[in-house]
Structure 1
Amino acid sequence: MSDTVQANAQALLTEVEKVTAVILPEPMAEVVPLEEASAPQAEEIRKRMAEVDLANTQSIISFGSAAQAELQVISQAMLQDVKNKDVGPAGDSLRKIVTTIRGFGADELDLRREASWWERLLGRAAPFAEFVAKYEEVQAQIDRITSELLTHEHTLLKDIKSLDILYEKTLTFYNELALYIAAGEAKLAETDSVTIPAKEAEVAAAPEADQVMKAQELRDLRAARDDLERRVHDLRLTRQVTMQSLPSIRLVQENDKSLVTKINSTLVNTVPLWETQLAQAVTIQRSKEAAQAVREANDLTNELLKSNAENLQQANKVVREEMERGVFDIETVKAANATLIATINESLAIADEGKARRARAEEELVKMEAELRDTLAAARARQITPAASA
């Protein structure tokens, strides 16, 4: 929440307390008759009785209507103000800010939590940047909604003050109706007990030529009296309806007062607490990320130390083994000597075998040469013998 909104909400706290501390007066229960009224009330009743002219029908019809004029002005002004409002209900804003806070789930963006199957399927984690972006979005929504709440608070305070005025004017109208009803009833009693009997006596005493006219005046007087009685009855009904509207006004006003108190408490106390908790959530998340980074660095350091130790052990083993070896391995020398001996023996064996093969070859050559001589000699002897026979 911005500092301006919070300062304005704090400044309105005194006004809210003043408005909610107003106690509205209670209406009078019964109409006080002229005979039982106090001197000031009796004077007011007589003033209203003077407004009635039984010879003037319009005065009877309008009897008591003047009391409602100012009340109508106040009511119409309030209705016009309601028509001109372009803001939504304050309760919606309160629900909206609660929904916004509920929508910020730190657990959903916890880097240490186990990833959901959907995140594992997409191969997507919840980086700290998303957490901060979510926090900034919620913070912006809170700023906007708190500004709306402050506007609602101003509007409701204005409505409460207007309802105070409306209640006072309605109560004044209600009390005025009591005076008019008392005046009407007193006028009716006066008409029944004085005016009509006087007119009846006047009709009876009138000459025969004027009796018809006087009788018509008497009928008109009685008709006017009946009109006044009906008007007084209407005023009683109006007073009853007005009495019912008074608690309705108070109920609406009390609801507005409760809502103003809730809004102001939300702006002054609850929202800063929420923002503190959100800031703590971001700080905690940042601490978790830092701790994770430190843990990964420590793990890497331990892995490097372990790997270097193992590499050192292996390298030392190779180096020491090479250092302890001679120029030639005895096994290699023995193998080479055995190979050399085998080679010499193989060479001697091959030489002996070649010598034997050559000896056998010479014998074969001698044999083949003897066989060839014998064969040639036999062929020559065959050629000489036939010639001699011839």
Structure 2
Amino acid sequence: MNDIQTAPQTDPAREAAIAGLAAQIDLAEPATILRFGAATQTRAQEAANAMLEGAKNAETGEAGQSLNAMLAALRGFDVTKLGEKPGLVARLFGRAKAGVGSIVMRYETVRGQIESIGDKLDHHRTRLLEDVERLDRLYTATLEWFHALADHIAAGELALKRADTETIPALEAASTGPDPLAPQKLRDARAARDELDRRVHDLRLTRQVAMQALPSIRLIQENDKALSARIQSVLANTVPLWRQQLAQALAIHRMKEAGAAVKAATDLTNQLLTANAETLRQGNAEARTELERGVFDMDAVKRANAALVGTIEDSLRIAEQGRTARGQAVQELAMCEAEIRRALTAAKARTEPGKQ
């Protein structure tokens, strides 16, 4: 608050300036009261316009929008999810994990957007820095205006003190004299004194406005500085870090893919090795089984022997049956022959009596 305090009362230069301002006031000339501090008060309008322009500065709003757009673009391209597996919904609708080529194409698109926004932000940052310098000059001018108002107020108070202690008492003493216009002069002086008092009060109000403008200017200036610093940080740190993160994510993604390929090759090698071992074991078992077998299997020898025994037994049985059948045939043939003989004998006996 030291920069908005009035200069010390013991400053000879300021006392001389205040005395000069007070000397411009003449209660007998109302115009001097009307003009007193008018030029200084006009600075209030200039300061108000400057403050309004700073408050509604479109560059600040556009810079904030561009900064938000860049941050949204950076957040929208989340490189940390590059290696994540797609969810069920993504798999159902065919939105599977993007390959490196697709990621790079998306990056090129987003990079173009970021570079375009970055150019705008750099332009906004330049304008914001210019606004900071302009506001700094405005602050200095407002501070000078504040001190000028304080000098005018001190000069007005000095003129009021002289009016109360010198001018008006002298007119009061003269009003009782023979001059018939003395009372009117006294009344006019008192009216001028009241007008000067109101004028000093107005100057005090204007000085209060100047006092309020000073922190407001600093607040706008600090906001512009903070936004400019934020833009600088995003351009110098956030964007490069995002690109570095993308490069690292792509490298890690490629390493994962290479690791998966190596794992697949190792798994295939192990699978082939195991399959070959199993095939060798099975072939060896079959070969050794065949090698350890005899020329004939015992089961086959047993079956052949049983068949041979059966054949011999069948032959013997059939031969026995043949002998039996032949024996019976001999007897039957003998019987047949005997019957033939009897028949022939019987026929001969019947023919012989006929011859007698």
Q: Same fold (TM over 0.5)?
A: yes
Instruction: Provide, for residues 24-71 of structure 1, a one-character-per-residue CA deviation record: whole Å limited to 9, x for no partner.
Output: 981234674xxx551x33443344335545455454344213124345
Q: Is 1:163 the equivalent of 2:135?
A: yes
Tell me if the contact between 1:128 and 1:286 (Cα under 8 Å) persists in the aligned partners. Answer: no
Check 1:124–1:103 CA distance in 2 against 1; reply closer, same or farther (3 A cut): closer
Over the residues paired in the alignment, what is the CA RMSD in angstroms? 4.6
Structure 1 equivalent of residue 145 of structure 2 = 173
After alignment, is 183-192 or 224-233 more displaced? 183-192
Please state how far the C-alpha of 1:306 moved relative to its aligned partner: 1.7
Structure-2 residue corresponding to 1:186: 158
Letter in 2 for 1:73: E
Q: How do 1:209-220 residues align onto structure 2 when only pairs under 5 Å count?
A: 211=180, 213-220=181-188
Q: In 1, Cα distance between the equivalents of 2:37 and 2:101? A: 70
In the alignment, residue 276 of structure 2 is paired with which amino acid?
Answer: N
- Amino acid of the structure 2 residue aligned with 1:93: L
Report the equivalent of 2:346: none
Aligned counterparts of 2:172 and 2:199: Cα–Cα separation in 1: 24
Cα distance change, pair 342–233 in 1 and its aligned pair in 2 (3 A) = same
1:150 paired with 2:122, answer: yes
Q: In the alignment, does 2:32 pair up with 1:26? A: no
Describe how 1:1-390 pairs up with structure 2 within 5 A: 26-29=3-6, 32=9, 36-38=10-12, 40-49=13-22, 51-70=24-43, 72-73=45-46, 75-77=48-50, 79-80=52-53, 82-83=55-56, 85=58, 87-88=61-62, 90=64, 93=67, 97=71, 100-101=74-75, 104=78, 106=80, 108-110=81-83, 126=97, 128-129=99-100, 132=103, 136=107, 143=115, 146-147=118-119, 149-200=121-172, 203-207=175-179, 211=180, 213-319=181-287, 331-332=299-300, 335-336=303-304, 338-339=306-307, 342=310, 345=313
Look up the SS of the partner of 1:110 in the other structure.
coil
Identity %: 44
Seen in structure 2, the aligned counterparts of structure 1 residues 278 and 51 have a Cα distance that, compared at 3 Å, is farther
Letter in 2 for 1:180: H
Instruction: Name the TM-score, length of structure 2 as normaliser.
Output: 0.70
Residues 22 and 158, structure 2, Cα contact 8 Å, conserved in 1: yes
Query: Can you list the C-alpha shifts for 1:62-102, whole angstroms capped at 9, x where unaligned?
Result: 42131243453354245336545163464993797389459
Report the TM-score, using the length of structure 1 for normalisation: 0.65
> How far apart, CA to CA, are the structure 1 residues paired with 2:6 and 2:129?
30
Q: Distance in 1 between matches of 2:67 and 2:156?
A: 51
Quick one: distance in 2 between partners of 1:351 and 1:90?
125
Indicate how the Cα distance of structure 1 residues 269 and 122 shifts in structure 2: closer, same or farther if over 3 A, else same: closer
Per-residue deviation, 1:280: 1.7
Contact 1:70–1:169 (Cα < 8 Å) also in 2: no
**CA, structure 1 residues 129+116, in 2 after alignment: closer, same or farther (shift >3 Å)?**
same
Deviations 1:173-200 (A, max 9, x none): 1011011112212222333344334544
Unaligned runs of 5+ in 2: 340-356
Q: How many residues align?
A: 331
Return the offset for 1:232. 0.6
| Structure 1 unaligned spans of 5+ | 1-23, 371-390
